Amino acid sequence: MKYQVFQIVLFVLAVSFRMQAQVGRADSLKQLLGSAPRDTHRVSLLTDYVWEIAGDQPEEALLLAREAVQLAQQLGYRKGEATAWNAMGAAEEELDSLDKAVECYLKAGIIRGEIGDMLGLASVHNNLGNVYEIQGKMPEALSERRESLRIVEELGDSVRIARAHLSLGNLFEGMGLMPEAYDQVYAALRIYDSRSDSLGLAHVYTSLGHIRLEMSLFEKAAEYYRNALRIRQKLADPESLANALSDLANALDEMKNKDSTRVAIGYYDQALKIRESVGDMAGVAVIYNNIGVAYKHLEDYDKAMDYLRKGLEIQQQLDDQSELMRVYNSIGDVLYGQGKYREALDYTLRYAKLANSVDDKKFIQRSLKDLGKLYAALGDWKKAYDYRVQYDELRWEMLSERQAEDFERKEVLFTDGRRQREIDRQKHELAQAKIRTWALVGGALALTLLVLLLFNRNRIRKRANSDLAAKNRQIEQERERADALLRNILPEKTAAELKLNNAVKPQRYESVTVLFSDFKGFTTVAELLSPEELVQELDECFRCFDSIVDKYGLEKIKTIGDAYMCAGGLPEPSETHALDTVMAALEMQQAMQKIIQKKIGEGKPYFEMRIGVHTGPVVAGVVGFRKFAYDIWGDTVNTAARLEQGGEPGKVNISETTREAVKDQFSCYYRGKLPAKNKGEIAMYFVDTVGGEGSYVWQN
C-alpha cells in the first residue's frame, strides 16, 4: 500500500514538471512572437503557438492562425500557408465549427498536393477523416482514412502507417464493424511491436480492449487493458494513465463478480487521485459515479450513495446534462435496491426528463423500463402497464433503427470496397498503359511496330468476344438467381404477377387466420448474449418456425426483431386455414419448450414465447418499388398482435372468431374479455394441449 502511494506521489510530481514544461513552451513561443519580424519564421512560430493553445484557448488560436495565413500569402510562402490552414482547421474543430474546419483542411490539402508535400497531405486526409467521423459521415471518413494510409504506405513511413491502421481500426469500431476493426488494429500492433514502440503499443492495447468490451468479452478486454496500463504507468501522461485505470476498472466491474468488482474499485481510486491532482473535476465526477455503481453491484448501498452524491454535486456545478442523467439513473437504481421506491421514482423521473431533452434513446428506453418497474413496486399497476407498453414500443423502434444502422454500415463497407477495387483497377490499367508506351518507344522499327499492333488488336478483339460471351452467361446466371430470390420472398403466384405486370394488384381475402409470436423478456435475455449469439438464437428459432409454417401450408409474412408473423388462407384460399394455423401455433410452442429445456440443461439463458391468433378479413399485396415485400393489412392483423400481447408464455391465445372455427377440433379455455390497446376489450381463449409430442385435445 505504501509503495502504491509512493508511486502516485512520484507520478504527480512528474506530471507537474511536464505541465510546467508545456506551459513554458507556450510562454517561450509567445515571447518570441513579440519580437519576431514579419517573415517566414514568424509564420512557423504562429502555427506552432496555435497548436500549443488550441485546446485551451481556441478563439485566440483561430485569430493567430488567420494572421499566419495572411502573412504566408503576402510572402508567397506556400508551405507555410498550408501549415497555417491546417492549424486553423484544428482551431475551428475545437470550436465545434466542423464545416469551417473541413474548408480549412481542404485548402491545406490543395496546396500540399500542388507543392508535392505528400506527408503533409496524408495528415490532412487523416484530419478530414476525424471531422467526418464526428459529423457521422462514415463513407467520407472511411475514404479519407484510406487515402491517408495509401499515401504513407507509398512513402514507406512505418510509424505513420501504424497510426493510419490504428485510426482506421478506431473508425471501424465506432461503426460496429468489429472484425474489420480487429484486422486494422492488429496491423498496427505488428508494426509497433517490431519497433518496440511503447506508446504505440499502449494505444493498440487500449483499442483491442475497447473492441473486446463492445463484444462483451470482458475478461479478454481486461487482459488488453492491463497491458496498456503497464505501459502507461511508465509515462508521465496523467489523462492517459487515468483513462487506462478506468478502462480496466470498467471491464472488471462488467464481469458482475464481487471479487472483480472490489479490484475494480481499487483501480477507480487510483484514477480518482490522478484526476484530483490535475484538477479535472469533470473526470472526478465520472469516477465518483463509476465507484458508486460498483458499490451498488456489491449491494453496499450506503457507500454507493456517498459516492453518487459527491458526483452529483460536481455535475450540478458543471451543468453537464448527459452526465447528470447518468448520475440520476445510478442513484435511482441504488434507492430501488434499498426499497426506497418513492425516492427512486423521483430520481428516475429526473433522468427521464433529461434523457428526453437530449434525445438519448438508450436512456429514454431505460427510463420507461425503470418507471414501469417502480410503479409496479408501488402498486400503481395502470401506470406500470402504460410505461411497459411505451417501453415495448420504443424497443421495437430502436431494434428497427439498429437493423437499419447495421445495413447502412454494411453498405458503407461494401461501397468502400468497391471504390478500392476501382482504384486498384485504374492503377493497374495505368501501369499497363505505361508498359505499353515504353514497349512502343523501345520498338523503333516501323515494321515490328505494325506487326505488334495488328497482333495486339486481334488479341483484344478475341478477348472482347470472349468477355462478351462470359458476361452474357453471367447475366443469365444473375437473372436466374434474381428469380429464385423473388420466389423466396414472395408467394409464387404473386412473384409471377410482379414479373408479368411489374406490379401486384392488392387482393382482399374475406377469411384469413393471422399468427403473431413474440419473445417475453427479449431485451433482458439479449443483454446476456453477445450480438453473434443473439442472432444465432433467433436464427435457430425462426428456422424451426419456417419448417412448421411450410408443413401446415401457411404463408410467412415477415419477422420484426424477435417477432414472427404468418398467415393461413392466402395467397391460395383454404377452408382449413384456422385449424392449420392453430396446429402450427401449438407445434411452435412445443418446439420452443424443447429449446428451453435444452438451454436450461446447458445453463444458458432462454426465450419464452407468446402467440396470438385471430381470424378475419385482410388485404394483401406488395408495397414499394425497391426492396419490396409481400404484406397484409387490416384490423385482423392489429387484433392478432393485441392477442399476442395479451397472451402468456407457452400458451396459444386465440380470438372468438378463431375459436368458432376450431371449436369442434380443440378444447379452448375461455379467459374472459381482456383489455387490448386501442381495441377495447377482446374475448380471449387459450387452446388446451395434453399428452406427449404432437398430441392435442380434440373435442368430440
pLDDT digit string, tens, across residues 214-273: 888 999 999 999 999 999 999 878 889 999 999 999 999 999 889 999 999 999 999 999
**Using N-to-C axis directions, what is the helix angle for 198-214 and 238-254, rounded to 10°?**
30
pLDDT score, position 690: 41
pLDDT digit string, tens, across residues 492-506: 666 666 666 556 788
Query: pLDDT confidence of 305, banded at 50, 70, 90?
Result: very high
> What is the overall mean pLDDT for the chain?
84
CATH number for the domain spanning 653: value is: 3.30.70.1230
pLDDT score, position 113: 93
Query: Which residues face 668 on adjacent strands?
Result: 687
The Cα 514–Cα 263 span in angstroms is: 54
Query: pLDDT confidence of 530, banded at 50, 70, 90?
Result: confident
Q: Tell whether 544 is covered by a domain.
A: yes
Query: pLDDT confidence of 341, banded at 50, 70, 90?
Result: very high
Task: Kindly report the number of other CB atoms within 10 A of residue 692's CB atom.
Answer: 6
pLDDT score, position 446: 59
pLDDT score, position 418: 54
Q: Tell whether 197 is covered by a domain.
A: no
- Strands 555-560 and 652-655 turn out to be unpaired
The Cα 560–Cα 519 span in angstroms is: 11
Angle, alpha carbons 391-393-399 (nearest 5°): 95
Of residues 474 and 201, which shows the higher confidence score? 201
| Mean pLDDT of all residues in 21-38 | 74
Is the predicted pLDDT of residue 21 greater than 80, yes or no? no
pLDDT score, position 144: 92
Could you say which of 74, 99, 116 is where a domain stops?
Answer: 116
Q: Tell whether 46 is covered by a domain.
A: yes
Could you say which of 60, 85, 116 is where a domain stops?
Answer: 116
Query: pLDDT confidence of 302, banded at 50, 70, 90?
Result: very high
Is the predicted pLDDT of residue 640 greater than 70, yes or no? yes
| Mean pLDDT of all residues in 333-350 | 92
Amino acid at the residue 301? Y
The highest-confidence range among 38-52, 117-131, 471-485, by mean pLDDT, is 117-131
Among 140-154, 156-170, 306-320, 425-439, the minimum mean pLDDT is found in 425-439
Sign of CA dihedral 583, 584, 585, 590: positive
Of residues 61 and 700, which shows the higher confidence score? 61
Q: Tell whether 330 is covered by a domain.
A: no
| Mean pLDDT of all residues in 141-162 | 92
The three three-digit cell numbers of residue 681, written as one number: 376489450
Query: pLDDT confidence of 465, banded at 50, 70, 90?
Result: confident
Query: If you ran DSSP here, which 8-state letter would residue 650 be given?
Result: T
Q: Tell whether 537 is covered by a domain.
A: yes
CATH number for the domain spanning 106: value is: 1.25.40.10
Q: Tell whether 145 is covered by a domain.
A: no
Is the predicted pLDDT of residue 453 greater than 90, yes or no? no
Say if residues 676 and 646 touch (Cβ distance below 8 Å). Answer: yes
Contacts of 311 (CB under 8 A, 6+ apart): 284, 285, 286, 287, 288, 289, 292, 327
pLDDT digit string, tens, across residues 684-699: 999 986 433 333 333 3
| Mean pLDDT of all residues in 327-343 | 92
Q: Tell whether 396 is covered by a domain.
A: no
User: Residue 626's domain spans which residues?
Assistant: 506-687
| Mean pLDDT of all residues in 46-51 | 88
pLDDT score, position 498: 64
pLDDT score, position 36: 80
| Mean pLDDT of all residues in 316-341 | 91
Amino acid at the residue 520? K
Could you say which of 60, 93, 116 is where a domain stops?
Answer: 116
Is the predicted pLDDT of residue 328 greater than 60, yes or no? yes
Is the predicted pLDDT of residue 45 greater than 50, yes or no? yes
Q: Tell whether 651 is covered by a domain.
A: yes
pLDDT digit string, tens, across residues 390-437: 888 887 776 655 554 454 555 555 455 555 555 556 555 655 655 565
Query: Which residues face 614 on adjacent strands?
Result: 514
Is the predicted pLDDT of residue 106 greater than 90, yes or no? yes
> pTM of this prediction?
0.55
The Cα 208–Cα 221 span in angstroms is: 7
- Alpha helices per DSSP H over 54-117: 58-75, 78-94, 98-115
How many domains are there within the chain?
2
Share of the chain above pLDDT 90, in %: 52
pLDDT score, position 444: 57
Say if residues 581 and 567 touch (Cβ distance below 8 Å). Answer: yes
Among 167-176, 197-206, 278-287, 391-400, the minimum mean pLDDT is found in 391-400
Say if residues 289 and 314 touch (Cβ distance below 8 Å). Answer: no
| Mean pLDDT of all residues in 639-649 | 93
